[in-house]
């Protein structure tokens, strides 16, 4: 299965930007990069995904390295409600689109 | 409707009981999934249904039996479970087919199962 590497935990201050890194050196050309987050006692929530180009949506931005071996999820202004576990996942075309979760990064946000 | 609804939210069952978990979505998604999540661990994929057919079984023990009666409904039948099967069971859905790779999954809030 496609492997991603993320820091176990990160801290941020409220209203400051947060950059969550992810390494995926075994990525193949058809793998999509997906990010999900999971708040306590809830199911995972889709955040953003991309293939090659940087992506923006109302929740976050995704910056993908030119060689696609790493990516960064950017929360532009962290709020207390952004405290969650953030998962970076490779969605593999040749594995039926399975979404296999890695260990994730636990983000805490200080007021 | 942009939600995946799971019932019940909590379930306590004995090791000899038979119970079922239910998952429903009305987004027209043709792929549905069951995940199992233990405390402080990431979700683990159990089953994938694509167009109402079982396409992936991640070597799950037969005491877990999935069923997809129609494109909106997914069940997980439980029988003779063990205490170590206690976990949060998550259902998810997504667009089916090759176009699915460019879409995200929508997850339900899960059923918290305790086996006693």
| pLDDT (tens digit per residue) in A94-110 | 676 778 788 999 999 99
Q: Is the pLDDT of residue A1 over 70?
A: no
pLDDT of residue A91: 85
> Measured between alpha carbons, how far is B24 from B11 in angstroms, rounded to an integer?
17
Spatial neighbors of A87 by CB under 8 A, at least 6 apart, are A6, A35, A36, A37, A38, A44, A101, A102, A104, B42
Q: Is the pLDDT of residue A89 over 80?
A: yes
62-101 in A: which are within 8 Å (CB) of B? 87, 91, 93, 96-101
> Measured between alpha carbons, how far is A82 from A74 in angstroms, rounded to an integer?
12
Please report which confidence band the pLDDT of residue B86 belongs to, taking 50, 70 and 90 as the band edges: very high
> Measured between alpha carbons, how far is B2 from B10 in angstroms, rounded to an integer?
22
Residue in A44, A97, A104 nearest the CB of B100 = A97
19-48 in A: which are within 8 Å (CB) of B? 30, 32, 34, 36, 41-46
pLDDT of residue A31: 87
Please report which confidence band the pLDDT of residue B100 belongs to, taking 50, 70 and 90 as the band edges: low
Residue in B31, B43, B50 nearest the CB of A44 = B43
Mean pLDDT of B14-30: 95
């Amino acid at each position: 299965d496609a492997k991603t590497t993320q820091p176990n935990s990160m801290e941020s201050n409220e209203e400051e930007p947060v950059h969550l890194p992810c390494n995926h050196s075994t990525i193949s050309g058809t793998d999509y990069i997906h990010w999900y987050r999971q708040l306590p006692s809830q199911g995972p929530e889709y955040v953003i995904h991309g293939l090659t180009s940087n992506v923006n949506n109302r929740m976050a931005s995704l910056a993908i390295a030119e060689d696609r071996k790493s990516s960064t999820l950017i929360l532009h202004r962290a709020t207390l409600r952004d405290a969650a576990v953030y998962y970076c996942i490779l969605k593999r075309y040749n594995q039926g689109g399975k979404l296999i979760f890695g260990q994730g990064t636990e983000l805490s946000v200080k007021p | 409707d942009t939600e995946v609804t799971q019932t019940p939210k909590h379930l306590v069952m004995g090791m000899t009981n038979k119970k079922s978990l239910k998952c429903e979505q009305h987004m027209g998604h043709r792929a549905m999934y069951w995940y199992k999540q233990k405390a402080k661990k990431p979700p683990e994929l159990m089953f994938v249904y694509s167009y109402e057919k079982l396409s992936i079984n991640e070597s799950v023990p037969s005491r877990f039996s999935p069923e997809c009666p129609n494109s909106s409904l997914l069940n997980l039948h439980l029988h003779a479970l063990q205490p170590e099967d206690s976990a949060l069971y998550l259902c998810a859905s997504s667009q089916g087919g090759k176009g699915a790779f460019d879409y995200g999954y929508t997850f339900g809030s899960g059923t918290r199962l305790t086996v006693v």
